[in-house]
Amino acid sequence: MRNTWKIWLLSALMGSTAAWAAGTSAAAPAAAPAAAPAAMQTFVCKDGTSVSAATSKGACKGHKGIDKSAPAPAAAAPAPVAAAPAKATAVAAPAKAAPAQAVATKAGATPAPGGGPGQVWVNETSKVYHCQGDRYYGTTKNGKYMTEANAKAAGMHGARNKSCT
């Protein structure tokens, strides 16, 4: 009785008794072609980054969308796929972005031109100044660069009440 139950269950899982007896699955017929992977395309986002994706839908999500006016990047020949080593001993760390790029990506906007050593970014609306390397340095809407001493003299205070020096 147990073997009969196992055979019935197995044949039900395989699709039909005839397909099971023949050794083929009704769910995956042998004549059906395998689906080819979609070709990867490279898209340029509005923040200047490039993204490789199969379709444009959602390709630059979080990067302000696709820049349709940007020239298409040159198509590079696909690199040959090397066989994976049997045992990986160490994983390579991803490359770190330059500090100026890291600041720009955190705030979601590129810093305003200007600034530099000894300069702070003053948000004229909130009366707060941001030091170089700060997330909002050069990125708030109503602001300008000036020295920290001039910002303090104008009644501004440092972000989180901290001084840059």
Task: Please report the DSSP string for 55-104 in residue order.
Answer: SSTTTTTTTTSB-TTSPPPPPPPPPPPPPPPSS---PPPPPPPPHHHHHH
Mean pLDDT for 64-81 is: 65
Structural domains in the chain (count): 2
pLDDT grade for 20, boundaries at 50, 70 and 90: very low
Verify that 104 and 142 share a domain, yes or no: yes
Under a CB-based contact definition with an 8 Å cutoff, are residues 135 and 160 in contact?
Answer: no
Tell me what pLDDT residue 91 has: 53
Q: 6 in a domain, yes or no?
A: no
Q: How far apart (Å, rounded) are the C-alpha atoms in residues 95 and 90?
A: 15
Q: 1 in a domain, yes or no?
A: no
Verify that 67 and 116 share a domain, yes or no: no
Mean pLDDT for 6-35 is: 59
Q: 5 in a domain, yes or no?
A: no
Under a CB-based contact definition with an 8 Å cutoff, are residues 140 and 111 in contact?
Answer: no
Interacting residues of 134 by C-beta distance below 8 A, sequence separation 6+: 103, 121, 159
pLDDT surpassing 60 at residue 119: yes
What backbone phi and psi angles, to 5 degrees, belong to 100?
-65, -35
Q: 81 in a domain, yes or no?
A: no
Q: 134 in a domain, yes or no?
A: yes
Q: What is the largest CA-CA distance in the chain?
A: 93
Verify that 65 and 105 share a domain, yes or no: no
Q: What DSSP character marks residue 130?
A: E
Q: 26 in a domain, yes or no?
A: no
pLDDT surpassing 80 at residue 15: no
pLDDT grade for 23, boundaries at 50, 70 and 90: low
Q: Which domain holds residue 58?
A: 38-73
Q: 19 in a domain, yes or no?
A: no
Verify that 67 and 104 share a domain, yes or no: no
Q: How far apart (Å, rounded) are the C-alpha atoms in residues 159 and 163?
A: 8
Verify that 69 and 103 share a domain, yes or no: no
Which of the two residues, 65 and 26, has the higher pLDDT score? 65
Mean pLDDT for 90-115 is: 56
Verify that 68 and 104 share a domain, yes or no: no
Q: 116 in a domain, yes or no?
A: yes
25, 56, 73 - which closes a domain: 73
Verify that 114 and 63 share a domain, yes or no: no
Verify that 105 and 142 share a domain, yes or no: yes
